[in-house]
Structure 1
Amino acid sequence: MDFNAIITGLQEFLERGGPVLTVIMITTFVMWAFIFERFAYFFFAQPGQANQAIREWTARGDKSSWYAHAIRDQLISEVKQRCDQNVELVKALVAVAPLFGLLGTVTGMVTVFDVMSISGSSDAQAMSAGVSRATIPTMAGMVASLSGLIFATQIERLAQRRVAVLADKMELTEGEA
């Protein structure tokens, strides 16, 4: 497929949807950048950080005192903080995408009403641009939100699972002391 045809098609789609569609596209790109960043973190950096925390815990001689438990809780908390980083931002972007779609709907309907007030009639051909501006952003906002929602939930579950596994491993090594 021709690259120029793809770019032209995307430009036509963005023009039909109005300026709000550009905001939805940027929001979606940012959301997906953070989703990819989180998955890259979980599969490349997080295992090493969890192993480092376990090494620090197993290197301790005292594992039963109150102070040792505080150290263990701190190590788990640090890993949890790194795992949860940007998860709330992804969830916020998932929530804001349909709101931008709703904004596009409102601006598109305003365009339709402007055409109706200027022409004094309900000419379907004259109103079609406004109807397009009303429906395309709604669809785009919902698609962006649904696609991000699936992965935001997976990221949140993955973070919880990894922290729970780390806590379990540290608890097991405590019993070995």
Structure 2
Amino acid sequence: MLISDHLFRLMEYFHTGGPVMLPLLLVSLIMWLLIAHRALYLRRLGRRPMANPLAWEYIRANRRPAIGEGGAVGLLVTRFLDQRSGNPALDRSIIDELVLSLNRTLDRHLGFIGALAAVAPLLGLLGTVSGMMATFDIMAMFGTGNARGMASGISQALITTETGLIIAIPGLYMKNFLERRAQDLQRQLTGAGYYLRRHLQEAAC
């Protein structure tokens, strides 16, 4: 009974918000799916990071880490061993290319998440304008005597504004949070790349 009451109130809330509520719902759904995907991906790569000396030991022994071992640095080692050529100069280039490639994957979709979070209040503003226009139309036709019609337009304006902000504020927070996580991992990968590159060069001498 309690669940059905909440569901009815939610349906009434969306109905009162007018047609702008559907694109707001789609924006929110897509944004949170991307946030969940990115959060899980970054969490997996940030778990138990491999120390640079251990990464070099794996490469020197030509031994792959276990799946999921070592976080982002472990993934770098695995991919390098898959592409290793045996030529020291070419191997150093492969390390550089892998670091750049992995760094790009860490940033993927974060810009789109930010764009969706920025679009949400604009859609809310569109609903606000639509609701106020509907209110003014009722006032023009009936004056201030039709309080019910005026309340409907004002409710639409307020609900869409509120919904846009409810979507945007946590979305922007999560985008910034994920960006910080991605930057931490990028620093790890860049440091590991320099370390491994230096040791590959020393091993070739």
TM-score normalised by the shorter chain: which range applies? 0.7 to 0.9
Residues of 1 paired with 2:80 and 2:27: CA distance? Answer: 41
Partners of 2:103 and 2:189 within 8 A in 1: no
Residues of 2 paired with 1:166 and 1:45: CA distance? Answer: 11
**1:160 match:** 183
Which residue identity lines up with residue 147 of structure 1 in the other structure? P
Write out per-residue CA displacement over residues 83-129 of structure 1, whole angstroms, 9 at most, x where no aligned residue.
Answer: 11211111110110001000100110111011112213464333000
**1:139 match:** 162
Structure 2: tracts of 5 or more residues without a match: 48-67
**2:136 match:** 113
Partners of 1:91 and 1:152 within 8 A in 2: yes
Using the size of structure 2 for normalisation, the TM-score is 0.76
Task: Give the length in aligned residue pairs.
Answer: 175
Residues of 1 paired with 2:176 and 2:27: CA distance? Answer: 18
User: Which has more helix, going by share of residues?
Assistant: 1
2:127 is the counterpart of 1:104? yes
Residues of 1 paired with 2:125 and 2:94: CA distance? Answer: 48
Partners of 2:27 and 2:116 within 8 A in 1: yes
Q: How does 1:15-164 map to 2 (within 5 A)?
A: 15-44=15-44, 48=68, 50=72, 51-57=74-80, 65=89, 67-121=90-144, 123-164=146-187
Superposed CA RMSD in Å reads 2.3
Using the size of structure 1 for normalisation, the TM-score is 0.87
Residues of 2 paired with 1:149 and 1:36: CA distance? Answer: 14
Residues of 2 paired with 1:21 and 1:52: CA distance? Answer: 42
**1:4 match:** 4
Partners of 1:76 and 1:166 within 8 A in 2: yes
Which residue identity lines up with residue 99 of structure 2 in the other structure? I
Partners of 1:20 and 1:103 within 8 A in 2: yes
Partners of 1:54 and 1:169 within 8 A in 2: no
Structure 1: tracts of 5 or more residues without a match: none
Residues of 2 paired with 1:169 and 1:147: CA distance? Answer: 33
Write out per-residue CA displacement over residues 1-59 of structure 1, whole angstroms, 9 at most, x where no aligned residue.
Answer: 62211210110101111111222122112111110010111123676473132245476
SS of 1:19's partner is: coil
Which residue identity lines up with residue 135 of structure 1 in the other structure? L
Distance 1:40 1:73, change over 3 A: same
SS of 1:7's partner is: helix
SS of 2:20's partner is: helix
Partners of 1:57 and 1:170 within 8 A in 2: no
SS of 1:158's partner is: helix
Higher normalized contact order (CA 8 Å, seq sep 6+, divided by chain length): 1
Residues of 2 paired with 1:103 and 1:123: CA distance? Answer: 24
Distance 1:43 1:28, change over 3 A: same
- Structure with larger Rg: 2
